[in-house]
Amino acid sequence: MSEQDTLNGAAAADTGPMFTVEKIYLKDVSFEAPGAPQVFNEQGQPQLQMNLSQKVQRLSDNAFEVVLGVTLTCTIGEKTAYLAEVQQAGVFGLAGFDEQTLDAMLGTHCPNALYPYARQSIGDLISAGGFPPFLLQPINFESLYAESLRQRAQQAQSGDGLADAETAGNA
């Protein structure tokens, strides 16, 4: 039995990297229908534009706040039908990761955890605004993260990091 206890103790002590979702919450939400009620009578094909943003803030050694911003703008012709904006946030525990893996976790796993909540909030806002339901399509955050790494590498090579750093976060 003492051998079994030793194995259990060793397993408990060497748990490896840890990822936990501590809290998920809406940080900011906004909905505007600047042309209502006239916009409901507009004819034409609605055009949708979606912008994503992400902010990461270290709260402690192993805790991070990640904010996923989703802005959806619908226009009909030259007029804005609606603008829905959600900042979905979460506090995540990440421990035992090297810097590169930590960066990847914050850039892929955390937004993947937040996106379904942001998607639901955007859909609810649009419906509550009197517009037809709209379901945001899934997003491949791994692909977006890979693109951001490529942009960072280009900036490092060009040495023009300040001018390009602002545009990289708006992808």
Q: What is the pLDDT of residues 28-55, one digit of tens each?
A: 999 999 989 999 998 889 999 999 999 9
The conformational region for residue 14 under phi > 0 = left, psi -120 to 50 = alpha, else beta, is beta
> 36 and 65 share a domain?
yes
> 100 and 157 share a domain?
no
Please give the average per-residue pLDDT across 132-141, as a whole number.
92
- Written as six digits, the tokens of 129 are 């605004």
> 80 and 57 share a domain?
yes
Q: How far apart are CA 70 and CA 88, in angstroms?
A: 8
Please give the average per-residue pLDDT across 110-128, as a whole number.
97
> 66 and 134 share a domain?
yes
18: exposed, middle or buried (C-beta count within 10 Å: 0-12, 13-18, 19+)? exposed
Smallest Cα–Cα separation from 150: which of 171, 129, 125, 128? 171
Instruction: Give the range among 79-83, 121-125, 150-154 with minimum mean pLDDT.
Output: 150-154
> 135 and 145 share a domain?
no
Q: What's the confidence (pLDDT) of residue 85?
A: 98
> 110 and 170 share a domain?
no
Query: What residue type is 17 in one-letter code?
Result: P
Q: Taking 50 as the threshold, does the pLDDT of residue 89 lie above it?
A: yes
> 104 and 74 share a domain?
yes
> 86 and 162 share a domain?
no
Q: What's the confidence (pLDDT) of residue 14?
A: 60
| Contact between 139 and 115 (Cβ < 8 Å) | yes
CATH number of domain containing 71: 3.10.420.10
Quick check: is 3 in a domain?
no
DSSP 130: T
Query: What residue type is 159 in one-letter code?
Result: G
> 132 and 158 share a domain?
no
Please give the average per-residue pLDDT across 114-137, as a whole number.
95
Q: Taking 60 as the threshold, does the pLDDT of residue 127 lie above it?
A: yes
| Contact between 87 and 68 (Cβ < 8 Å) | yes
Q: How far apart are CA 28 and CA 89, in angstroms?
A: 9
Instruction: Give the range among 3-7, 25-29, 62-66, 150-154 with minimum mean pLDDT.
Output: 3-7
- Please, what sign has the CA dihedral across residues 158, 159, 163, 167? positive
65 vs 14: which has the higher pLDDT: 65
Confidence of residue 2 (pLDDT cuts 50, 70, 90): very low
Q: What's the confidence (pLDDT) of residue 168?
A: 38
Give the whole-number percent of the chain exceeding pLDDT 70. 85
Q: Taking 90 as the threshold, does the pLDDT of residue 15 lie above it?
A: no
The domain total for the chain is 2
Q: How far apart are CA 141 and CA 158, in angstroms?
A: 25
How many Cβ atoms from other residues are within 10 Å of residue 121's Cβ?
Answer: 19
Which residues form the domain of 171? 140-171
Quick check: is 41 in a domain?
yes
